[in-house]
Structure 1
Amino acid sequence: MEPAELRRAVAAGRATAAEMGFQVDDAVVIHNSDRVALRLVPCDVLVRVAPPGHLTDSEFEVEVARRLADVGAPVAELDPRVEPRVYVRDDFAVSLWTYYAPVGPEITPAAYADVLERHHAALRQVDLDAPHFTDRVAAALREVTDRERSPELSDSDRSFLSDTLGGLSSTISGDKAGDQLLHGEAHPGNLLNTKRGPLLVDLATCCRGPIEWDLAHAPEEVGEHYAGADHDLIRRCRALNWAMFSAWRWRQDDHMPDRGHWRVEGLHRVRAALDRCGA
């Protein structure tokens, strides 16, 4: 979020928690992107604040968290001291979560794979109406094909990303028999090492697809420890994921730090990933 919007988001998060009876002396910004994560002290509540227009996404995330907590999934949980719901303040969508202090050591590939296996097993016990991962690919493709949305993308790179997004998406989604609910973006930034063990966060990305889509977001060594994983499919999913990442960087309204670097690096990583899977 931009500084002005961030200040309003922090104020909305603090006011919501205070209204729930929590003592809020300070708010520490833990993460700031399309939504903000705040640690409130001394009450030790993690508050997630989504900008106007994202109420439905926040409500979906809360519902996913509630359902997964019921089946013992290795995920961050909502704060048990308040009603599990989304609060609206100043048009921001605010949800209150348990704060988990990070601990060491670094999560090993084997432990990472174990978390994903247990998470996928829990998701198979949950009935949720979630989008297919290809819906997000289609959204990325729209950014690439619309010159007004990505005016600085060259014709050759536009064609390259368009062909990659469309071609890999069709190939990967051709057989949906093995699809199931997924985390959606199970990258290292969404896996916390806590006193309870590794826990997945950012559940709003829940979608349907092959388990290899989640594995493609994890470090490459993780797939080696996941029983029954299709390593060729992981490589194709990884190439598609990098193509999506690259597409977002070329949006005119993208605000990722060091965007110029990641525009170039993203395209490089797409090509490298395609080479690895023989495409």
Structure 2
Amino acid sequence: MEPPVLRRALETARTTASELGLEVADVRVVHNSDRVVLRLLPCDVLARVAPSRHLAEAAFEVEVAHRLAGVGAPVGELDPRVAPRVHERDAFALSLWTYYEPVGRDITPADYADVFMRHHAALRRIDVDAPHFTDRVAVALAGVDDRERSPELSDSDRGFLHDALVGLSAGTSADRARDRLLHGEPHPGNLLNTCRGPLFIDLATCCRGPVEFDLAHGPEGVAEHYEGADPALVDRYRALNWALFSAWRWRRDDQMPDRDHWRAEGIRRVRAALARI
């Protein structure tokens, strides 16, 4: 968020939390992109604030998190002191979450696979209306093909990303027998190492597909510890995930920090992943 919008988001979080009976003397920015994550002190709440056009997405995330917490999933939970809902105020959608102090040790591939298996088991116990991951591919492809939405994408890279998205997703709609509810984007940035153990966050990306689509977001070596995973399919989806990542970075309104670096790096990662398969 640009500074003026960020200041409004901070004030919205402070005011909303205070009116809900939480003490807020300080607001710290944890992450800032098109949405912002804030730590409110001394109540120690994590506030996720997005423009109100993301209200439906925020509500979906709250619903998924609430249901998963009810079945003991390894996920970051909503703050228990307030109702599990999204607050719409001053053109923002705001949700309040438990803050987890991170611990220092790395999450090993075996531990990553273990939390994946526990998370997928919990997802099988809830029922939510989630899109198929190929819907995400279709949105990314539309952005790549639309010059107005991705004006800085060169013709050669536009053609490359188009072919990668189409080719890597080809055939995925033919056999849905292995599809199940997934996290959707369980990369290392969305897995917190806490005193409670590893916890997944950012649940708005929940979708349907084979487990290999989730596993492809994890570090190398994780799939080897996940019983029944298809290594070739993991490699294919790893390339697809980098193609999706690259497509988002070339959107005109993308606000990811260090975007120019990740635009070039994303294309490079797609080429490397394709070479591997």
Q: Distance in 1 between matches of 2:95 and 2:258?
A: 29
1:199 aligns with 199
Q: Secondary structure at the match of 1:82?
A: coil
1:18 aligns with 18
Task: Letter of the 1:227 partner, please give it.
Answer: E
Displacement after TM superposition at 1:220 (Å): 1.1
Q: Distance in 1 between matches of 2:94 and 2:44?
A: 16
Q: Between 46-55 and 116-125, report the one with greater CA deviation.
A: 46-55
Number of residue pairs the alignment of both structures matches: 277
Q: Secondary structure at the match of 1:54?
A: helix
Q: Between 32-41 and 186-195, report the one with greater CA deviation.
A: 32-41
1:241 aligns with 241
Displacement after TM superposition at 1:192 (Å): 0.6
2:80 aligns with 80
TM-score (norm 1): 0.96
Structure 1 unaligned residues grouped into runs of 5+ = none
Task: Letter of the 1:63 partner, please give it.
Answer: E
1:93 aligns with 93
1:39 aligns with 39
1:223 aligns with 223
Displacement after TM superposition at 1:59 (Å): 0.6
- 1:64-93 CA-partner distances (Å, limit 9, x unpaired): 011101111000111111111111110211
Q: Secondary structure at the match of 2:225?
A: coil
2:261 aligns with 261
1:27 aligns with 27
Contact 2:184 2:207 in 1 (8 A): yes
Displacement after TM superposition at 1:222 (Å): 0.9
TM-score (norm 2): 0.97
Q: Secondary structure at the match of 1:53?
A: helix
Q: Distance in 2 between matches of 1:172 and 1:270?
A: 19
Q: Secondary structure at the match of 1:220?
A: coil
Q: Secondary structure at the match of 2:171?
A: helix
Q: Secondary structure at the match of 2:38?
A: strand
1:159 aligns with 159
Contact 1:172 1:233 in 2 (8 A): no
Structure 1 segments, 4+ long, off by >4 Å, are: none
Q: Secondary structure at the match of 1:224?
A: helix
